A = this chain, B = another copy of it.
Amino acid sequence: MNHTVNPHVSVDCVIFGFDNERLNVLLIERSAGNIPVAVQYALPGDLVWEEESLDDAASRVLKELTNLEGIYLKQFKAFGNPNRVNDFKDLDWLQSYRQQPQARVITVGYYAFIRMDELQPEASSFAEKVFWRDIHEIPLLGFDHNEIVDEAIEVLRNDFDSNKVGFELLPDKFTLSQLQTLYESILDRKLDKRNFRKKVLKESIVVPLDEKQKGVLHKPAQLFELNQ
């Protein structure tokens, strides 16, 4: 497992998860370096290996972090401000964890979708702990990671509008209400139930299953799956 690292380019991943109510982002805790400081949060990411593509680097980061493969991944933007590092905590972290802390690093941002219940956290070279956070409650992150998160959400909204992405966030079987809540979470606005159902059924996005919900405190909803 010896790879030559390219110290000038990294990938950071905005990993979205959906808990049937809200959209979440997976964040990591990173160790403080040499200075006593409160816990620090960041996006998962890593430097790119010399022999891997950007996409492969992002896939690797995801695999290391979540132990999942074949995850939906999309590059959304490159970040390369010369003054991305202007907080002493970030500088301290770089000095503890990077071989060339003074190198200017361009970061290519990716967003991804995983099922929250499929997450199997692995010890990785860049994350001690991982946790989910509602997209409306993102804490202060290292470097320019808050900006990266905001941008990813914006791009996701746009992508959703033009080609409906994000179904990977749902379980294999789901109710139309869950689907509606996903749409509403991504678009950040309410949709009318009757109109939503009518539209989704008309567009043949979903296929009804011969199954209903069980053990719910209300009328059991019919289950659907995605129309492949």
Write the residues of chain A forming the contact surface with B, with a CB cutoff of 8 angstroms.
6, 8-9, 48, 50-54, 75, 77-82, 104, 106, 108, 158, 161-162
Q: Which of B51, B81, B104 interacts with A50 by CB under 8 Å?
A: B104
Q: Which residues of B contact A8 (CB under 8 A)?
A: 6, 8-9, 106
Which partner residue on chain B sits nearest A82 by CB separation? Answer: B51
Separation of A78 and B158 alpha carbons in the complex (Å): 19
**CB-based closest 4 A-B pairs:** A8-B8, A54-B80, A78-B78, A78-B108
- Known contacts A8-B6, A161-B162, A162-B162: does B104 contact A80 (CB below 8 Å)? no
Which partner residue on chain B sits nearest A7 by CB separation? Answer: B8
User: Chain B's nearest CB lies how many Å from the CB of A108?
Assistant: 5
Q: Which residues of B contact A158 (CB under 8 A)?
A: 162
- Known contacts A6-B8, A75-B77: does B50 contact A82 (CB below 8 Å)? yes
Q: Which residues of B contact A161 (CB under 8 A)?
A: 162
Q: Which residues of B contact A51 (CB under 8 A)?
A: 82
B9 touches A80 (CB 8 A): yes
Which partner residue on chain B sits nearest A158 by CB separation? Answer: B162
Q: Which of B77, B79, B80 interacts with A48 by CB under 8 Å?
A: B80
